[in-house]
Amino acid sequence: MPLLSAIIFLPALAALVLALLPARDPRTFRNAAAAATGMTFLLSLWLFAQFDVNNPSLQFVERVPWVPAIGFAYLVGVDGLSLPFVVLTALLSFCAVLGSWRVTLRPKEYFVLLLILETGITGVFGAQDLALFFLFWEVELAPMFLLIGIWGGPRREYAAIKFVLYTLAGSAAMLVGILVLYFAGEPRTFAWSELVGRQIAFEVQLVVFVLIFFAFVVKLPGFPFHTWLPDAHVEAPTAVSVLLAGVLLKMGGYGIRRLLLPLVPEAMRFFAPALALLAVVNVLYGALLCLAQSDMKKLVAYSSISHMGYVLLGIAALTTVGLGGAVLQMVSHGFITGLLFLLVGVLYDHAHTRDVGRFGGLVHRTPALAVVTSLAALAALGLPGMSGFVAEYTVFVGSFATFPWHTAVSTVGVLLAAGYMLWMTERIFFGPLNPEWHDLDDAHRYELVPLWGLIGVILLVGLYPPVVTDVIDLGVGALTRWLGG
């Protein structure tokens, strides 16, 4: 059974079925979507269980020639780098559907788009052919645009268009970059495994790097191409925020790691110091901006910018540990930020505001939510025992030898994270109850399920990192081969 293709296309198939369902009851759609994403998640767990952690090469490879004349094939597979993201996408998609329990506006279209989005994202992580990678990269765009543009907040159209234009500009550059790679050697191919190790002139490498990096740095997002992110998050519905921050941003880091590092290693080496500088700017700029936010969603969005800085730092270090830490940070941040956006969504559903300053003392009314939020905040500030600590610590260890000053300065982000996260939880939940919220409901059981599920995963990875690191290790093992030393 083509397990990987099943994981990629099951949501799309479900979307097709949903589109044909004659039902009118919103519950039908959300139950069907939950079943489809839940099934996909189980399949991804199965994939995870079947994955051989002693085999560093691509596994679950499926290859179907598509346009043989130009060497374009449907080629998917997973290795230590892809696998964590495939599972992460499946998990967060499932959580996103569970976090959409209250969607009543055009539920059929909403869930259909969400499912197509999942197929697009999973495809990006599974594709081992650059043209296919690009195809999936674009597939994700349309549902994202519509989800923000139709189900979003008051400024949804501005945010949606900003998101699309930014991404499209990046994609256009990336397409040119991929084509340059394609034409740069014989035989012409889009297959990643055949492109690795090709000798490409240094100047060409630089051009490819700049073109493709632009697409990824927009996605990541890196300063100064980040302003689409807070807007998109503030307007996007909860589920979309979860996927946007949880997995879409990772496509940037993943892309740098998958395409740029192995395919244009000399350019990577050349640009590494610039990347490290950008990383520090991201970490501090994002964290400082968090201190000035009162909208919870904006705060979490800017914290993502800060935390993605560590990903860049880990990659820029060009060490095994740094790369491992970067991947770990992406996975961990996926759990944590997904959790945070779900929490913001629950609170917003109950209180209809995200303004931190308007809350106060909510623990009196919502003890369960207070506990979960506190745990999420602790995870976000990198407390040991949670996945964020393992990831950030590994990044620091991996990058210090290469960039001691950058690393030392970026540790300040950890302190600032503690500042804004503790400020947020304290301001919302502790102190005397603001009378405005005297009849606020605590989170319902169905809302708590995905929250506690994610906390479970965060603790699991934080306490027993080998669950993930044994897999990631395979993905970084070949580093020395690409970098030739």
Contact residues toward another protein (CB under 8 A) are 162, 165, 223-224, 226-228, 285, 288-293, 320-321, 324-325, 361, 363-364, 378, 383-385, 389-390, 393-394, 396-398, 400-401, 404, 407-408, 411-412, 414-415, 418-419, 422-423, 426, 429-433, 464-466, 469, 472-473, 476-477, 479
Q: Closer to another protein by CB, 29 or 396: give it.
A: 396
Question: Which is closer to another protein, CB of 28 or CB of 320?
Answer: 320
Question: Rounded to whole angstroms, how far apart are CA atoms 283 and 410?
Answer: 6
Give 120's Cβ-side CA count (13 Å radius).
23
Cα–Cα distance, 424 to 447 (Å, whole number): 21
Cis status, amide bond into 221, omega within 30 of 0: yes
62 SS3 class: strand
Closest distance between another protein and the C-beta of residue 466, in Å? 5
Closest contact distance (angstroms) between CB of 165 and another protein is: 7
- Min dist CB 110 to another protein, Å, is 28
Q: Which is nearer to another protein, 17 or 401 (CB)?
A: 401
Q: How far is the CB of 58 from another protein (least distance, A)?
A: 20
CA atoms within 13 A on the CB side of 217: 18
Measured between its terminal Cα atoms, the distance across the chain in Å is 39
Longest alpha-carbon distance in the chain: 71
Residue placing its CB nearer to another protein in the complex, 30 or 354: 354
Q: Please report how close the Cβ of residue 312 comes to another protein at its closest, in angstroms.
A: 18
H-only helix segments in 223-364: 228-235, 238-243, 249-255, 261-263, 265-291, 296-316, 320-351
Between residues 438 and 445, which has the closer beta carbon with respect to another protein? 438
Q: How far apart are CA 320 and CA 303, in angstroms?
A: 26
| DSSP assignment letter at 244 | I
Q: How far is the CB of 446 from another protein (least distance, A)?
A: 22
- Residue number, 325 or 338, with CB nearest to another protein: 325
* Angle at 326 (CA atoms; ends 378, 142), nearest 5 degrees: 90
Question: 191: which DSSP letter?
Answer: B
